[in-house]
Amino acid sequence: MTDILLWTVNAGWIHPSLALRLLKANLGPLENRCAIEEFTLRQSTEEKLAAITAHQCRILGISVSIWNHTGILQLLRALPPANRPIIVLGGPETSYLGPDSPILEYADYRIIGEGEHQFRNLCTHLLSAAPSEGALKSAYHLYTDEDLQKKLTYVESSRGCPYRCSFCLSGMKNEGGATTGVYEFPLDEFFTQMEILIKRGAHRFKFLDRSFNHNIKRACVIMEFFLKQVESRPHDKDKTAMFVHFELVPSRINDELLDVMKKFPADTLRLEIGVQTLNARTKAAVKRTGDIEKELAAISRITNETKAIVHADLIAGLPHEDLSSFANGFDKLYAAHPCEIQLGILKCLPGTSIRADADSYGIGYSPDPPYEVIQTADITREGMARIKNFARFWEVIVNRNPFPDLLPTIVCGDSVFDQFMSLSDSLLSRLGRNWGLDRAVLRDAVLGCLHSNYNV
Ligand code: SF4
C-alpha cells in the first residue's frame, strides 16, 4: 500500500515527467511514502486503472495538461467509487479551469499554480504528518539510469516567463500569486546536478525554460557549459550523441548568443524559436514584443551561420490575421530557412486574456480541450479547416521529409504557402483524410496531385 501516488499520462515513453519527480522530491519526510506511475496516451484505460488500484493509495495526485485532459477525465469517470483515494488535481491545465469544468467534479482538491510546496502542505495535512519547510529541492536523482540513457532528460534552469503574450499562461500571475515572473535556479548548483546526470548517462537534454534567452548573459553561460560537455566527449560518435534543446524568444537573439551557438558541432544544438506571428497589428494585439524584421534577420543568421537545428513556430487564428497576411508571414519565415516550421492553431486556454477577449475578435473556439480556434472575424471556419489540413500535411511531407526527391517540386513558386495550400487541398480531396497514411500511399497521392495540378 502506498500513501501517495503521483500519476500522469505523458505524450510518449521518451518524455518522462519532471513535474511528478519535483513533487515527490519536495514532499520532505513523506517522500518515501510516495510512488510515481507514468503512462502514455496509447495505453489502455484498463492498464492505467490497474496501476492505481494496485497501489491502494490514500492520496492520488494527477498532473493534467491540455493534451491529456480528455484521457484523464475518461479515467476518472472509470475509477470505481468504492475505496476511491483522495484525488488532487494539479498541472498547467487545472489552474484556470472554470468551476463548471467536468474534470473538477472528480477533484477533492486542486492545486493552483506551482505545485511543490502546496502539494507537500496538503499531503502533510491529510496524512497528519509533521510539517517540513525549506527551499525547493531538485528532483533529478529520481530519474532512473534507464530514463537518462534512453529518454529525453527534461531540466529547468528557470521557471516562468517575463513576457505576457495574451494566449499563453507561462507569464501570467495566477490567483494564488505563485507565478510572479521568472525564478532563476542558482547556476552553481544547477551545473553540479547536470554533471551528475551526464556521468550517469544523460545525453539528450531538453530545457523546460519558457524563454531560455530572456537573460542573454545567463543563457550564454549555460550554453557554454553544455558546449564544453559536447567537446569533452572523446569520439565523434559520442559528440553527436549528445544534444541540448532550448526554447528561444526571437527578440533576444544577439551577437553574443550567436557567437556561442556557432561553436556547437552539427546535431548537438536544437532550437525552438517561437515566432508566432509576422503581422505587426496582430503582434501588438497579443502583446508580443520585438521588431519583426530584426527577428527574421536573427533567424536567418542562425540558419546561415550555425549548425543548429532550428524549429520555428507560427500560430494561425490570432486577431487581425487573415489568410493572406498569414500566407505572407509564412513565406517570410520560410525564406529565413528554419529546418522546420511548426504551424499550430491558436488555443484559447482557460485563464488567458485572449479567451476573455475572444468575442471582441470574433474568435470561436472549441469548448473542450485543446480549445482550438474554429474561426475568427478574419478567417472563416472553412479557412481555418484548410490551414489545419495544411499544417498536418506540412508536418508529414515537409518537416519529416520522407520524399526528399520530390521536395523541390513541392516547396517552390512565388508563394510556398499558396503552392502547398493547393497541394494539401488536393491531397485531402484525393485521400479523404490527413492521418494514418501509409508512406507509399502518400507518395502516390503526392505524385498524382503534382501531376494533375502542375503536370509534373
Ligand atoms: S514569450 Fe513564450 S512563454 Fe513567454 S508569455 Fe510569450 S508565448 Fe508564453
- Ligand 1 contact via 168 beta carbon (within 6 Å): yes
pLDDT class of 159 with cuts at 50, 70, 90: very high
Please give the span between the terminal C-alpha atoms of the chain, in angstroms, as a whole number: 66
- Ligand 1 contact via 165 beta carbon (within 6 Å): yes
Dist. CA 154–CA 247, nearest whole Å: 12
Ligand 1 atom having least distance to the Cα of 169: 8
Residue nearest to atom 6 of ligand 1 (CA): 165
Residue corresponding to grid cell 489540413: 389
Max CA separation in the chain (angstroms): 76
User: Does pLDDT of 411 surpass 90?
Assistant: yes
Average pLDDT in the 102-126 region? 95
Q: How remote is the CA of residue 246 from the centroid of ligand 1, in Å? A: 14
3-state secondary structure string across the chain: CCCEEEEEEECCCCCCCHHHHHHHHCCHHHHHHEEEEEEECCCCHHHHHHHHHHHCCCEEEEECCCCCHHHHHHHHHHCCCCCCCEEEEECCCCCCCCCCCHHHHHCCEECCCCCHHHHHHHHHHHCCCCCCCCCCCCCHHHCCHHHHHHCCEEECCEECCCCCCCCCCCCCCCCCCCCCCCEECCHHHHHHHHHHHHHCCCCEEEECCCCCCCCHHHHHHHHHHHHHHHHCCCCHHHHHHCEEEEEECHHHCCHHHHHHHCCCCCCCEEEEEEEECCCHHHHHHCCCCCCHHHHHHHHHHHHHHCCCEEEEEEEECCCCCCHHHHHHHHHHHHHCCCCEEEEEECECCCCCHHHHCCHHHCCEECCCCCCEEEECCCCCHHHHHHHHHHHHHHHHHHHCCCCCCCHHHHCCCCCHHHHHHHHHHHHHHHHCCCCCCCHHHHHHHHHHHHHHHHCC
Ligand 1 atom having least distance to the Cα of 249: 1
Which of 170, 208, 213, 347 to probe ligand 1 with, by most ligand atoms within 8 A of CB?
170
In the chain, the percentage of residues whose pLDDT exceeds 90 is: 87
Mean pLDDT over the full length of the chain:
93
Question: In whole angstroms, what separates CA 41 from the centre of its chain?
Answer: 16
C-alpha closest to that of 294 among 249, 331, 344, 245: 249
Dist. CA 219–CA 213, nearest whole Å: 5
Residue nearest to atom 1 of ligand 1 (CA): 163
pLDDT at 177 (0 to 100): 45
Residue nearest to atom 3 of ligand 1 (CA): 210
- Ligand 1 contact via 286 beta carbon (within 6 Å): no
User: Does pLDDT of 452 surpass 60?
Assistant: yes
Q: State pLDDT tens for residues 339-382.
A: 999 999 999 999 999 999 999 999 999 999 999 999 999 999 99
Ligand 1 atom having least distance to the Cα of 288: 6
- Ligand 1 contact via 353 beta carbon (within 6 Å): no
Average pLDDT in the 169-184 region? 65
Q: State pLDDT tens for residues 287-337.
A: 998 999 999 999 999 999 999 999 999 999 999 999 999 999 999 999 999
Contacts of 160 (CB under 8 A, 6+ apart): 170, 171, 179, 180, 181, 182, 183, 210
pLDDT at 174 (0 to 100): 47
- Ligand 1 contact via 315 beta carbon (within 6 Å): no
Which of 211, 246, 342 to probe ligand 1 with, by most ligand atoms within 8 A of CB?
211
pLDDT at 148 (0 to 100): 96
User: Does pLDDT of 176 surpass 60?
Assistant: no
Residue 39, beta-bridge partner list: 9
| Count, residues in the chain | 456
Average pLDDT in the 402-424 region? 96
Q: How remote is the CA of residue 334 from the centroid of ligand 1, in Å? A: 22
Question: Which of 86-95, 137-146, 232-241 comes out lowest in average pLDDT?
Answer: 232-241
Dist. CA 234–CA 26, nearest whole Å: 37
For residue 313, give the C-alpha cell: 513556430
Q: State pLDDT tens for residues 224-270.
A: 999 999 998 755 565 558 999 999 999 999 999 999 999 999 999 99
pLDDT at 97 (0 to 100): 92
Q: How remote is the CA of residue 143 from the centroid of ligand 1, in Å? A: 28
Which of 168, 174, 251 to probe ligand 1 with, by most ligand atoms within 8 A of CB?
168
Dist. CA 213–CA 370, nearest whole Å: 28
Which value, to the nearest 10 degrees, does the dihedral of the CA atoms of residues 192, 197, 202, 205 take? -50
pLDDT at 175 (0 to 100): 42
Residue 314, beta-bridge partner list: 276, 343
Dist. CA 409–CA 391, nearest whole Å: 18
Which of 66, 161, 275, 283 to probe ligand 1 with, by most ligand atoms within 8 A of CB?
161
pLDDT at 130 (0 to 100): 77
Contacts of 297 (CB under 8 A, 6+ apart): none
Amino acid (one-letter) located at 323: L
Q: How remote is the CA of residue 51 from the centroid of ligand 1, in Å? A: 36
pLDDT at 172 (0 to 100): 63
- Ligand 1 contact via 161 beta carbon (within 6 Å): yes
pLDDT at 232 (0 to 100): 87
- Ligand 1 contact via 380 beta carbon (within 6 Å): no
In the chain, the percentage of residues whose pLDDT exceeds 70 is: 96
- Ligand 1 contact via 171 beta carbon (within 6 Å): yes
Average pLDDT in the 140-163 region? 96
In this structure, the number of other CB atoms found within 10 A of the CB of residue 34 comes to 21
Which of 210, 315, 354 to probe ligand 1 with, by most ligand atoms within 8 A of CB?
210
Contacts of 188 (CB under 8 A, 6+ apart): none
Which value, to the nearest 10 degrees, does the dihedral of the CA atoms of residues 321, 324, 326, 332 take? -140
Count CA atoms within 13 Å of residue 68 on its CB side.
27
Ligand 1 atom having least distance to the Cα of 164: 5
pLDDT at 239 (0 to 100): 54
Contacts of 428 (CB under 8 A, 6+ apart): 389, 393, 434
pLDDT at 82 (0 to 100): 86
